[in-house]
């Protein structure tokens, strides 16, 4: 497995090395994405919120090249990069992203997938912050939201429009603990090219 150094010029995210595919789960969990610091056997925990920039990295940031390494931990940190690399390796994915909260993950995903004029089918049975995103923020961005019954996958299918981009469901729902048939909703999404 390739080890990354914190001071690498490129600081590219290595989600899965070529030789990771043949490794066992536990080996991937321990070693994937490792950052070697002063010969450390494991990646240390970095407690810093900011990182020093070399003149070259500062110039890169000034020129709009934002992938020149860690700068501020809310943007990127060595620890989150290592966790992302481990998750991607374990899942056999090209890359992974980690967030500080579920709401950050949900809002980032929806705002990445949706644009003005798009439509989403969701459920009102969801976390309060998600409900506010669906009913207040997305409509202000020109994104149409239709609510469906989380317990009835056919209600999701009936709500699909030509401009639908996402079917959103939570299981178990918060706070009502309703359980949806996630496989049925996924089949509906796949059948409709979503």
Which of 8-17, 65-74, 169-178 is predicted with the least confidence, judged by mean pLDDT?
8-17
pLDDT tens digits along 16-57: 455 566 777 777 777 777 776 667 777 778 888 887 778 887
Structural domains of the chain ordered from first start:
4-91 (no CATH), 102-191 (3.40.640.10)
Residues 48-57: contacts with CB within 8 Å, 24+ apart?
A: 48/73, 48/77, 49/73, 49/74, 56/9
Find out whether 114 and 165 touch, Cβ atoms under 8 Å: yes
| Band of residue 121 on the pLDDT scale cut at 50, 70, 90 | very high
Give the model's pLDDT for residue 157.
96
Q: How far apart are the first and last CA of the chain?
A: 35
Find out whether 133 and 110 touch, Cβ atoms under 8 Å: yes
**What is the chain's Cα-based Rg?**
20
Pairing of strands 4-5, 35-36: parallel
- The SS3 assignment for 62 reads helix
Tell me the whole-structure pTM to 2 decimals.
Answer: 0.71
pLDDT tens digits along 154-172: 999 999 999 999 999 998 8
- Please name which of 123, 167, 153, 118 lies closest in space to residue 139, comparing C-alpha atoms: 118
Give the model's pLDDT for residue 116.
98
Burial class (CB in 10 A: 0-12, 13-18, 19+), 64: exposed
Cα distance between residue 167 and residue 98, in whole Å: 22
Give the model's pLDDT for residue 65.
67
Give the model's pLDDT for residue 12.
38
Structure tokens at 74: 């809310």
By percentage, how much of the chain surpasses pLDDT 90?
A: 45
């Amino acid at each position: 497995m390739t080890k990354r150094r914190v001071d690498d010029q490129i600081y590219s995210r290595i989600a899965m090395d070529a030789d990771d595919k043949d490794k066992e789960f536990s080996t991937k969990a321990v070693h994937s994405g490792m950052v070697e610091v002063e010969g450390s056997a494991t990646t240390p925990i970095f407690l810093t919120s900011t990182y020093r920039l070399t003149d070259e990295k500062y110039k890169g940031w000034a020129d709009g090249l934002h992938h020149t390494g860690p700068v501020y931990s809310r943007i990127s940190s060595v620890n989150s990069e290592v966790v992302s690399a481990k998750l991607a390796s374990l899942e056999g994915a090209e890359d992974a992203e980690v967030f500080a909260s579920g709401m950050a993950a949900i809002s980032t995903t929806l705002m990445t997938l949706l644009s003005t004029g798009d439509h989403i089918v969701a459920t009102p049975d969801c976390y309060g912050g998600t409900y506010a995103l669906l009913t207040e923020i997305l409509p202000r961005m020109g994104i149409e939201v239709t609510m469906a019954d989380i317990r009835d996958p056919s209600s999701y299918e009936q709500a699909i429009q030509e401009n639908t981009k996402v079917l959103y469901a939570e299981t178990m729902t918060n706070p009502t603990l309703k359980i949806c048939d996630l496989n049925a909703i996924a089949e509906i999404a796949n059948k409709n090219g979503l």
